[in-house]
């Protein structure tokens, strides 16, 4: 898109409280029905563009649900990643209080992800089979934004970037996320700055490698949780992370159940073993020491 094209794109015109009050008075309380430069809602939300992106490959009416729920999840993946990166920024500034808000929002977005599965609960194997073959090898396994989400949460596996090698920009972005500290790495760094005895080897490890649970990190969380005073910001951080991890675990479980419902133990479209692959992936725990510490509190 050149500069001329960009200049022709309508933008939202800001308005003040006074302008809104004048408009209400002029409209006698009714909504405005005439706009000079296009509908402001569509200019802002790009609703027309969003609704043009559903392009089913079959004539089966049920495919629209499958396609749109998948697109909704993609949007939620991106939104959750946005919140996690904001939380990381604040944690790196040692603003634990500030990081609680994006973490809580992220947990709510994951609730939205979980709710999206309900839109596919109607799907039986016979329903899915009516259009599954036309999907070819397309699979949620190939979602770049989901990989960003896993990497941000600390689930690291460099091999999972390989499908994107013919998309250099996407691959570069994924490598950037993989090679940068995860949210959990940033949390552990906060613990160290707050005086907990976190070994240097844990703090300076290669972030592209998946974090191995460490007794010192677990011990820090045991101590944090034993202090139940109202001003314990690290305990509040722990609870925000717990809620996020629990919601993500619920999403992975619901993914497994949705696959079982729609295709049983059949191989996955992307070449995996389907349900067997999903069961193995669920064994990788997000924020492991925050869970194991509970045994000793």
How crowded is the C-beta side of 284, counted as CA atoms within 13 Å?
Answer: 15
Q: Residue 282 pLDDT > 90, yes or no?
A: no
Residue-wise pLDDT for 72-98, tens only, equals: 999 999 999 999 999 999 999 999 999
Cβ neighbours of residue 127 under 8 Å, at least 6 residues apart?
62, 262
Confidence (pLDDT) at 67: 96
Residue 19 CB neighbour total at 10 angstroms:
11
How far, in Å, CA of 188 to CA of 192, rounded?
A: 6
Domains, the chain, in order of start with CATH, read 63-296 (1.20.58.480)
255 is in an annotated binding site: yes
Residue-wise pLDDT for 219-239, tens only, equals: 999 999 999 898 999 999 999
Confidence (pLDDT) at 158: 93
Residue-wise pLDDT for 251-268, tens only, equals: 999 999 988 898 887 776
How far, in Å, CA of 292 to CA of 294, rounded?
A: 5
State the pTM of this model: 0.91
Sort residue 182 into left (φ over 0), alpha (ψ -120 to 50) or beta: beta
How far, in Å, CA of 246 to CA of 292, rounded?
A: 14
Residue-wise pLDDT for 162-217, tens only, equals: 999 999 999 999 999 999 999 999 999 999 999 999 999 999 999 999 999 999 99
Angle in degrees, 0-180, between the axes of helices 275-282 and 233-263, rounded to the nearest 10: 170
**Average pLDDT of the residues of the chain:** 91
Residue 258 burial (10 A CB sphere; 0-12, 13-18, 19+): middle
92 is in an annotated binding site: no
Residue-wise pLDDT for 4-47, tens only, equals: 444 456 788 888 999 889 989 998 988 888 888 788 889 999 99
């Amino acid at each position: 898109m050149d500069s001329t094209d960009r200049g022709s794109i309508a933008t939202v015109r800001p308005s003040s409280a006074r302008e809104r009050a004048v408009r209400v008075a002029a409209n006698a309380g009714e909504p405005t029905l005439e706009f000079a430069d296009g509908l402001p809602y569509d200019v802002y939300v790009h609703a027309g563009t969003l609704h043009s992106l559903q392009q089913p490959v079959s004539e089966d009416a049920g495919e629209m649900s499958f396609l749109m729920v998948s697109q909704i999840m993609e949007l939620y993946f991106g939104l959750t990643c946005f919140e996690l990166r904001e939380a990381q920024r604040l944690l790196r500034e040692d603003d634990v209080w500030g990081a609680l808000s994006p973490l809580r929002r992220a947990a709510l977005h994951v609730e939205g992800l979980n709710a999206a599965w309900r839109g596919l609960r109607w799907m039986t194997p016979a329903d899915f089979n009516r259009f599954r073959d036309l999907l070819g090898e397309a699979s949620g396994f190939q979602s770049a934004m989901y990989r960003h989400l896993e990497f941000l949460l600390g689930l690291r596996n460099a091999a999972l970037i390989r499908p994107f090698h013919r998309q250099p920009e996407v691959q570069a972005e994924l490598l950037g996320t993989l090679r940068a500290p995860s949210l959990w790495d940033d949390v552990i760094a906060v613990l160290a700055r707050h005086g907990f005895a976190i070994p240097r080897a844990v703090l300076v490890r290669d972030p592209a490698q998946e974090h191995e649970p460490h007794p010192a990190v677990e011990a820090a969380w045991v101590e944090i949780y034993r202090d139940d005073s109202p001003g314990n910001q690290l305990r509040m951080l722990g609870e925000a992370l717990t809620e996020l991890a629990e919601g993500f675990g619920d999403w992975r479980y619901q993914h497994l159940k949705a696959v079982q419902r729609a295709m049983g133990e059949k191989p996955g479209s992307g070449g995996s073993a389907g349900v067997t692959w999903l069961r193995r992936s669920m064994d990788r725990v997000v924020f492991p020491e925050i869970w194991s510490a509970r045994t000793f509190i």
